[in-house]
Amino acid sequence: MFQLKGRLKEVKETRQVSDKFSVREFVLTDESSQYPQHVQFQATQDRCALLDGFQVGGEVTVNFNIRGREWTSPQGEVKYFNSLDAWRIEAADSVPAPIGSDIPPAATIEGGSDDDLPF
């Protein structure tokens, strides 16, 4: 799993590749170094909708996996292709809830102290 924070430069429309496969590409500009990098990602299937709530120019954090595949041309030349498959997109300024924030506080023992240790 990898993560990159940047500004949405471009969001393309969802493309129906086949009856059972859809893809939506988008470009993120990483401005963390002297030279901005424009990185293309893709969202597939039901994840295409992840981009619906975001505007071009907004800062986002993208969680993604790197996928690689091999292809042999009709001439027998082997080539390799990589894709960055996004599986989560969040507004960069959103603050995740602390782990355990949805866990209710421990119950106290009736008639006893809040200390549940037996000694």
pTM: 0.73
**Which long-range contacts does 49-57 make (Cβ < 8 Å, 24+ apart)?**
50/86, 50/88, 50/89, 51/11, 51/24, 51/26, 51/89, 54/8, 54/11, 54/89, 54/91, 55/8, 56/8, 56/9, 56/10, 56/11, 57/7, 57/8
Which CATH superfamily hosts domain 2-91?
A: Nucleic acid-binding proteins (2.40.50.140)
Q: Using the 8-state DSSP alphabet, how is residue 91 labeled?
A: E
Segments making up each domain of the chain, as ranges: 2-91
Segment 6-58, tens digit of pLDDT:
999 999 999 999 999 999 999 999 999 999 999 999 999 999 999 998 999 99
